[in-house]
Amino acid sequence: MFDSLKKKLQNIRTKFTSNIEEAAEAEPAVPVAELPEELPEELPEELPEEAQPATPEPPLPAPVPAPLPEEVPEADREKPTFFNKLKVLVRDREVLIQEKDVEEPLFELEMVLLENDVALPVTDEIIARMRGDLVGRHRKLGSSVDELVVATLRSALCGVLGEGLDLSRYIREHERPVKILFTGVNGTGKTTTVAKVGHYLQKNGFSVVIGAGDTFRAGAIEQIKTHADRLGIKVIQHQAGADPSAVLFDAVQYAKAHEIDVVLADTAGRFHNRANLMNQLEKIRRVMKPDLVVYVDEAVAGNDAVIRADEFNRAVGTDAVVLTKADMDPKGGAAISVAHTVGKPILFLGTGQGYDDIVPFSPRVVVDELLGDEA
């Protein structure tokens, strides 16, 4: 999944590391030519006679040494030798990362993100986070540059992806039945996603009922009924052309009467600029009063998915996003961009045709996979 972006991020990671290391090597800690071939065991207590000043000043009274702790005998104390002082100097030496050290890899990272369908505002945010975290950073000599780069890139990507949403935990913490309304454009796999989510919830111990609210598209009721029968899930349906608000109201009432945990409401696909269908969706919301409105689109749609998700959110509101066909998307731009653009979490990624082919979206897991650090 997202193989193209993953490969290119690996190259960028190497580029950052190489540039920073080269900058550090350009500033040697201690010039070798200035060191004696053999280091003395300790610093000389007095200067050689020829190096004494012509008119020495009167000696100051010798300070009275403070008593040493009894548990550290004088013979066991380490003397401040020249070699020990040099070790401290090198160990504590730091390198300052400057703008010029990361300018080229930052530009390359920007191009990689844009080429892989990451939206421009999201790309700008990632680059700004990387620059802010790296430029002016002090790095100790000998510390891992690669670890620093990976940690910074991980922080930037997780920052734009947000925290995600654990659906099972959400259901456990809310009053039952939890009502989930699925929206989206035509042909993005919304009805199949409803069935997959129902199966996922069953596996996690929740009871489910589906409301067949897509009464507009021919064959939609039969499609969701076929999925539900295979999974052993009850479907509440009316005839084709019926008011979807009435269907979903009945689904909620059924769930309350039978103590069902979750209502999954399928709806007709629609575009945000179809006023009649958007008004219908607004009526559904008023009647059903969903706890979560989930927008469904395809990961392979790239920036189009990001734009449509934002438009749906502005029109009717969105609480979470599901991206289908993520297994067919080598770029990953939509997954990175949607959560930041809409300001809502990605709930699931669809990864195939089977009912089990749906993955809860964990930003940290996705970023670790992109950076090649998956477990």
Provide the residue-wise pLDDT of the chain in tens; the chain has 375 residues: 788 888 898 888 888 888 887 776 665 544 444 445 555 555 555 555 554 555 555 555 555 555 555 554 555 555 554 334 434 433 445 667 888 888 998 999 999 999 999 999 999 999 999 999 888 877 665 567 788 888 999 999 999 998 889 999 999 999 999 999 999 988 899 999 999 999 999 999 999 999 999 998 878 999 999 999 999 999 999 998 899 999 999 999 999 999 999 999 999 888 766 777 778 888 999 999 999 999 999 999 888 888 888 888 888 889 999 999 999 988 888 889 998 988 899 999 999 999 999 999 999 988 988 887 654
Q: Please give the residue range of the domain that contains residue 335.
A: 167-362
Which residues does 33 contact at the CB level (< 8 Å), separation at least 6?
Answer: none
Q: Which of 146, 161, 176 is the last residue of a domain?
A: 161
Q: Are residues 285 and 143 in the same domain?
A: no
What's the whole-model pTM score?
A: 0.77
Q: Are residues 216 and 297 in the same domain?
A: yes
Q: Are residues 313 and 351 in the same domain?
A: yes
d(CA 185, CA 276): 14
Give the strand order in the sheet containing 234-236. 234-236, 208-213, 262-267, 178-184, 292-298, 320-324, 346-350, 358-360
Q: Are residues 186 and 115 in the same domain?
A: no
Q: What is the DSSP letter of 299?
A: G
Whether residue 57 is contained in a domain is answered as: no
Whether residue 179 is contained in a domain is answered as: yes
Q: Are residues 308 and 191 in the same domain?
A: yes
Q: Which of 161, 179, 212 is the last residue of a domain?
A: 161
Whether residue 47 is contained in a domain is answered as: no
Q: Are residues 155 and 176 in the same domain?
A: no
- Please tell me the total count of domains within the chain: 2
Whether residue 273 is contained in a domain is answered as: yes
Whether residue 44 is contained in a domain is answered as: no
Q: Interior CA angle at 237 toward 233 and 239, to 5°? A: 150
CATH code of the domain containing 124: 1.20.120.140
Q: Are residues 212 and 349 in the same domain?
A: yes
